[in-house]
Structure 1
């Protein structure tokens, strides 16, 4: 018997909780419908923006000054948590590609020893910019909060944590090889980022962050 889209998406959530990410192939509107039916709250990760983002390679001089592209351009991104600058970090990131792209999304799930290390649990970072700054650690009771683009180490432990969380272990690359590729990322357990896209300027992903109650 062929599984329904809802069955596939429910299994993706289970796989995402266990492994840190999950992938499938389906049109994006199924995700939107499933999210509404299950009470997921979409989160705008930048003030004034829609919760649905269109991610495209953008050179530094054309990027929003508050974006990762303003620093990395179309080069390889450092791995990060989406919405780390928010007081409540979304627990699920959904990405979708209508058409294939040769540029993968890179993901790394730090192990227990890293997440529970003294530096990562206790190093204090200055998060955000301007009037919205606050202090936080790279891990809290809900999981990871780390973005090297918007978090500045405030003490030696945080500097050590920054080094640890930017020295990646085994990186998984999700390849957008087929139309309607769909990726779920556990945003409180996994760091992710786009690979170098200098030769892939037509790449476009739809991205939504959710409070979905999916974190462990």
Structure 2
């Protein structure tokens, strides 16, 4: 477990192999990294819409009450028989990180049913949003709102989403060079650093 946390602390992230379930974990540290601009207008607008969705749908938000169920739900593809990158090795890793207090679930409940959730890994004031699922409309937005609340309570200044694509761009994702990411990561993990959220010149 200490080895896995050391990898994260040095800028690596891990992904499973949907084409080879239960293959050894594949650690990556690409040339660019996608982070959420926590001070940006895109993130602020998204959160306001997400919070309105939570209120209008009557969702209940919880944290770390159904971690295993969230992991298993995220591992199921959207289509019948579809694989995801969350294989057996990843499920095991997330479970061990959760026991160690580093992995968390943010959950969306409706009428006593788990209808959405997201997983995250946190150390210091760095937080990585890993994956998400939802089974009813707007529950995905609710899951992000729940995770944002958890990050705020942890004093998060660096939100990592690994790769820039359609959804992470909607959240305010921006790509930065690896060396810049590593500088921000070190600052977020430094307990003596009282700086605010990461600001990147664009």
Give the TM-score normalised by structure 1: 0.26
Relative to its length, the structure with more helix (as a share) is 2
Give the TM-score normalised by structure 2: 0.27
Higher RCO (C-alpha under 8 Å, 6+ residues apart): 1
